[in-house]
Amino acid sequence: MLSFVYNGLPARVIFGSGTIADLPSEVDRLGLSRVLVLSAPAQEADARGICDRLGKLSAGLYPHATMHTPVSRTDDALAVVRDRNIDGFVAIGGGSTTGLSKALAYRTDLPQIIIPTTYAGSEMTPILGETHEGQKHTKSSTRILPEVVIYDVDLTMTLPASVSGTSGMNAMAHAVEAMYAKDRNPVISLIATDAVKTLALALPRVIDNPLDKDARADALYGAWLSGICLGSVGMALHHKLCHVLGGLFDLPHADTHAVILPHVLAYNAPAVPDAIERLKDALRTTDPAAALFDLADRLGAKTSLAEIAGSMSLDDLEQAAQVASQNQYWNPRTIEIESIRSLLQNAWTGNLRTQNGS
């Protein structure tokens, strides 16, 4: 007999085209009058437009969100929050900006409105990942979950094709791991399957024609579904490895997900036959790990750690394997340091083969 526990998250989602027009009324609905607009430096112009749209409801802009949400940057923004007597946050951008908003909300319990411009998916979760002294740590709290998420496909139309591909693979990783999560349930399994199928079909269309609004809408919809998965069930080895690599070596977040995902799926495949069958259907393939690898390549994403390594070297794989194997966490297949070292070696070279732990 099937047994499970399902908890729905109480986020308000507004999805469509031109939905940014609803922002002032959503701010008013939450009873806010001094919101701080957040962005990364690359989205500062868009954030200033948000300030203009909000008028007197805006108490200014903090355009310094940073990848991996370093605690030092959150502390800097927190000083602004206190100095300006802020009563809520509006964040526009990708995962870095959402991360900053969630970190501030965790510390202040102030409301958030998130306006995603990528396919990150973290806007739908009560989970915060932040870095301190080279380590990435996660927290989970109802204070972290945004009160409102406004998806406006129009705001994704200028997202570069290269970023769209890696961002979409990042979203897909949430859905893939949800299929074999320890606390998976029928609702999330259905959502995850639809997310993978939708993204796999939409993302190549976005790459081929970045101005295809229907394709962009489908990709954003798939990202939303993936975000629901990430916020509703626990993750496993894939997300742990990406957190380790990002925290230790400051690797680009979405690119790391795109590289690691096929290798972890190949590693876990023998232990998750039900998930593999779902993925075969969603990806229209007999080999889901290879299909994800080929999809990343089709989207123009990097397919090896060496291509995104920055200051990281081949010798650093040993440290990464050790950290990823510490503080044992649930994964459908046993986590052993030599097996993880082998997985990372394959990811470093972009050599996808069955992960047998040898």
The total of structural domains in the chain comes to 2
Report pLDDT for 86: 98
Same domain, 201 and 261: yes
d(CA 245, CA 319): 10
**In the structure encoding, which two tokens stand for residue 125, read together?**
């979760």
Residue 1 falls within a domain, yes or no? no
Residue 337 falls within a domain, yes or no? yes
Same domain, 147 and 165: no
At a CB cut-off of 8 Å and minimum separation 6, what does 7 contact?
A: 232
Q: Which of 156, 187, 214 is the last residue of a domain?
A: 156
Q: Which of 141, 156, 171 is the last residue of a domain?
A: 156
Same domain, 116 and 166: no
First-to-last CA distance in the chain? 36
Helices 186-208, 273-283: axis angle to 10 degrees equals 40
**Side-chain half-sphere of 133: how many Cα atoms within 13 Å?**
0
Q: How many CB atoms lie within 10 A of CB 113?
A: 28
Q: What is the SS3 assignment for 67-85?
A: CCCEHHHHHHHHHHHHHCC
At a CB cut-off of 8 Å and minimum separation 6, what does 79 contact?
A: none
d(CA 310, CA 305): 9
- List the domain range (segments joined by +) for residue 283: 161-349
Q: How many CB atoms lie within 10 A of CB 341?
A: 18
d(CA 221, CA 207): 16
Residues β-bridged to residue 137: 130
Same domain, 152 and 165: no
Report pLDDT for 280: 98
Report pLDDT for 134: 79
d(CA 94, CA 156): 10
What does each C-alpha distance from 206 to 57, 194, 211, 222 come to in angstroms?
35, 18, 7, 13
Residue 2 falls within a domain, yes or no? no
d(CA 123, CA 78): 20
Q: What is the DSSP letter of 334?
A: -
Same domain, 113 and 176: no
Residue 356 falls within a domain, yes or no? no
Q: What is the CATH number of the domain that holds 302?
A: 1.20.1090.10
Residue with tokens 């232990």: 271
d(CA 299, CA 304): 14
Same domain, 197 and 326: yes
Q: What is the CATH number of the domain that holds 74?
A: 3.40.50.1970
Residue 44 falls within a domain, yes or no? yes
Residue 4 falls within a domain, yes or no? no
Q: Which of 127, 156, 185 is the last residue of a domain?
A: 156
Same domain, 278 and 331: yes
Residue 358 falls within a domain, yes or no? no
Q: How many CB atoms lie within 10 A of CB 222?
A: 26
Same domain, 246 and 187: yes
Residue 243 falls within a domain, yes or no? yes
Same domain, 64 and 129: yes
Residues β-bridged to residue 114: 91, 149
Same domain, 195 and 271: yes
Residue with tokens 């101005």: 211
Residue with tokens 């085209």: 17
Same domain, 137 and 185: no
What does each C-alpha distance from 79 to 50, 63, 82, 91, 93 come to in angstroms?
22, 14, 5, 17, 22
Same domain, 91 and 46: yes
Residue with tokens 């390549």: 297
**In the structure encoding, which two tokens stand for residue 63, read together?**
């355009």
The DSSP result for 169-206, as a single string, is HHHHHHHHHHHT-TT--HHHHHHHHHHHHHHHHHHHHH
Q: Mind listing the pLDDT tens digit of every residue in the chain (358 residues)?
A: 578 888 888 889 999 999 999 999 999 999 999 999 999 999 999 999 999 999 999 999 999 999 989 999 999 999 999 999 999 999 999 999 999 999 999 999 999 999 999 998 999 999 999 999 878 888 999 999 999 999 999 999 999 998 999 999 999 999 999 999 999 999 999 999 999 999 999 999 999 999 999 999 999 999 999 999 999 999 999 999 999 999 899 999 999 999 999 999 999 999 999 999 999 999 999 999 999 999 999 999 999 999 999 899 999 999 999 999 987 789 999 999 999 999 999 999 999 865 544 3
